[in-house]
């Protein structure tokens, strides 16, 4: 299954992608996680992306498209993948189409996760993640342990710099301008499925499975 999860920051794409990864045994490919790992490790990609991420802007399309092209060639993508946070602009979506068409392996579905705008800001402000394995927590609904050590891998749990309030506003504005047009793009291709993301994670997961497996 070749899948894209679409939706503004904070709707739970990462959480859902991790569940789908387990269920379908295909990798979650999160461009945000890849960029943060590169930033942490001080690679050339991380250095190039740093100022964009800190301002809540999109990293240039050519950088991201090259990153995805390389990632999709890895062996673990043979049976499919879940793209989380990519594409985020029309040029990225067009580049993805070209890549997949060349291989004769088009996308099956794009799942658009919807959450009311005012709820998103709260989710982002309260989000904390593990620096090592990217597992996420929420101070209100899924609080991290008091010692801020990840129960899964022991990594440090922290607040992403771009989850602070000033940057959140930028990221949401960038989503509306650059990424939201993908809803129309994919609905024109008849592969867009929309689910209500303002429910418990398990319920959102079930709705995604229902739309993916065609049970409505």
Q: How far is the CB of 84 from ligand AMP (least distance, A)?
A: 7
Distance CA 117, CA 202 (A): 21
Q: Give, in order, the Cα–Cα distances in Å from 107 to each of 42, 82, 180, 194.
A: 33, 10, 18, 16
- Candidates 7, 8, 9, 197; binder of ligand AMP (CB under 6 A) is 9
**Strand, coil or helix: 128:** strand
Q: Which stretch binds ligand AMP (CB under 6 A): 17-25, 83-91, 117-125, 192-200?
A: 83-91
Under the binding rule (CB under 6 A), the answer on residue 179 touching ligand AMP is no
**Is 7 a binder of ligand AMP (CB under 6 A)?**
no
130 lies in the site for ligand AMP, by CB under 6 A: no
- Which segment (84-92, 95-103, 114-122, 201-209) binds ligand AMP by CB under 6 A? 84-92
DSSP H/E element including 114: strand 109-114
Which residues 90-119 are close enough to bind ligand AMP by CB under 6 A? 92
Contact 193, 110 (CB under 8 A): yes
For position 27 contacting ligand AMP by CB under 6 A, the verdict is no
Query: What part of residues 49-68 is at the interface with ligand AMP (CB under 6 A)?
Result: 52-53, 56-59, 64
Identify which of residues 57 and 71 has a Cβ nearer to ligand AMP in the complex: 57
| Backbone φ and ψ of 53, nearest 5° | -60, -45
Nearest to 26 by CA among 65, 95, 93, 75: 75
* Greatest C-alpha distance within the chain: 50
Q: Both tokens of residue 195?
A: 């689910």
CB closer to ligand AMP, 53 vs 150: 53
* Rg of the chain in Å (alpha carbons): 17
| Residue closest to 12 by CA, chosen among 144, 113, 122, 126 | 113
Which C-beta is closer to ligand AMP: that of 31 or that of 112?
31
Q: By CB under 6 A, is residue 32 in contact with ligand AMP? A: yes
Residue bearing tokens 């790992």: 37
64 or 212: whose CB is closer to ligand AMP? 64
Q: Which residues would be at the binding site for ligand AMP (CB under 6 A)?
A: 9, 31-32, 35, 52-53, 56-59, 64, 85-86, 88, 92, 162, 171
């Amino acid at each position: 299954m070749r899948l894209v999860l679409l939706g503004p920051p904070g709707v739970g794409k990462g959480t859902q992608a991790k569940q789908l990864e387990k269920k379908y045994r295909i990798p979650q490919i999160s461009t945000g996680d890849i960029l943060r790992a590169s930033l942490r490790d001080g690679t050339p990609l991380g250095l190039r992306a740093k100022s964009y991420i800190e301002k809540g802007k999109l990293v240039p399309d050519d950088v991201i498209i090259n990153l995805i092209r390389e990632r999709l060639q890895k062996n673990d993508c043979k049976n499919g993948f879940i793209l989380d946070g990519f594409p985020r602009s029309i040029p990225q979506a067009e580049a993805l189409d070209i890549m997949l068409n060349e291989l004769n392996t088009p996308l099956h579905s794009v799942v658009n996760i919807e959450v009311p705008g005012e709820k998103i800001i709260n989710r982002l402000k309260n989000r904390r993640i593990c620096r090592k394995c990217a597992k996420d927590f929420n101070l209100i609904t899924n609080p991290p342990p008091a010692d801020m050590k990840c129960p899964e891998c022991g990594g440090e749990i922290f607040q992403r710099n771009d989850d602070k309030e000033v940057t959140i506003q930028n990221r949401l504005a960038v989503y509306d301008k650059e990424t939201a047009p993908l809803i129309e793009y994919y609905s024109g291709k008849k592969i867009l499925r929309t689910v209500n993301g303002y429910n418990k994670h398990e319920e959102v997961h079930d709705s995604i499975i229902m739309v993916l497996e065609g049970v409505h």
